[in-house]
Amino acid sequence: MNLALVGINHRTAPVEVRERMSIPESRLQEAVVDLVHREGIKEGLILSTCNRVEVVANARDGVAPIPVIRKFLADHHQCNLALYETHFYQHRQQEAIEHLFRVASSLDSMIVGEPQILGQLKQAYTAARQAGALNGTLNEISLQALAVARKVRRNTGIGASAVSVSYAAVELARKIFGDLTGKTILVLGAGKMSEIAARNLIRSGAGSILVANRTYERAVELAEAFHGTAIRIEQMLDHVEKADIVICSTSAPHYVIYRHHAERWLAARKNRPMFFVDISVPRNIDPAVNELDNAFVYDIDDLGQVVESNKKQRDREAIWAEEIIQQEVQKAMRRLASREVVPTIVALEQKLEAIRENELERFRGRLGDLTPQQREAIDALTHGILNKVLHGPITELKSGVGRPEQGSLVSLVRKMFGVVE
């Protein structure tokens, strides 16, 4: 293994630099083919998202991969990479593996626990595989990174809680109603945040949707997108009682829903709960509504507090995730190191077996005619001697797997026995 990673991310580079270094998905295969056709590069992987551009390469022994990657980036973007020097980071060997595992597990993301990075890494892996750029150690490490990410999400709560306002609304709705199946949503003000919140609620099982907006055409547009019903704004108050969840985000500089409205709606609903999400600034829902039984009002600050609380929870889960990653990195290093001593063990066995056969052949004339039983006895004797000679060095090679001195031990054994790969 001769692994290197060179990259930039949202912490090391501003968006202007990330834009300059990004590689669009449509050109990913072409780029990774260019990378692996460079002198000494055996495998390559390129991850390019809005928050990071990372190039990973596995090179032949004796090749320095980082200068090759840097030259690739400079050529691909036709730029002087030295101008962006302070933004780049680089990792070698175990550090590169650990970095990949952390990226895949979203511990290196702008929002810890976000799920998109796993899908983006899968896309990068698929592009590299289809380009024929992954066929050995880096392929194995990439698959391990995906597996580690799944293990982190399965064994920790790093992605369990909402860290955006729109998802926080869904999380709160679930706490109030339990199952959202069939619940009716009323959107007051068809802005972007309302649209995102409504989409997340629909994806979580909510049923029909009503949309009211100052511009009726926009209400129709949004309602059609969700197969819902548009309402004229002046008729809005007549429809609210139908809604289990009310998302309010209008540009009105005053309350549009007051306590007496909510009292009437709750009576009409026979006190079935109503969940009001007020993401307007200034607020559009009178806070006094929240004083009523079965009326739950959350404004933008309430949702923000939920998000902040969830972020802290994710940070606590990230500590467990880091432990899982450290364990998986050590496992990966032991597997790779074990595989690297195998060629030496095989070469050692072949070398001594060749000596055994040559010596038997040299003495065959002196031994005269042997019966089958005698030949078997001589084979058993010489194989027994061979195995005893091999036992010591092979045991040492296997026990040295993963230790810092492994490389020196392998070199020493090869030198002592005159073994070449």
Query: Where in the sequence numbering do the catalytic residues fall?
Result: 50
The Cβ of residue 396 has, within 10 Å, a number of other Cβ atoms equal to 14
The Cβ of residue 321 has, within 10 Å, a number of other Cβ atoms equal to 27
Token output for 145 = 């990174």
- If we measure between CA atoms, which residue out of 3, 304, 325, 303 comes closest to residue 136? 3
CB 103 within 8 A of CB 45: no
| Beta carbons within 8 Å of 67's beta carbon, 6+ residues apart | none
Pairing relationship of beta strands 52-59 and 3-9 according to DSSP bridges: antiparallel
Cα–Cα distance, 188 to 48 (Å, whole number): 38
| Beta carbons within 8 Å of 290's beta carbon, 6+ residues apart | 276, 296, 297
Angle between helix 28-36 and helix 116-130 axes, rounded to 10 deg: 60
Cα–Cα distance, 376 to 171 (Å, whole number): 75
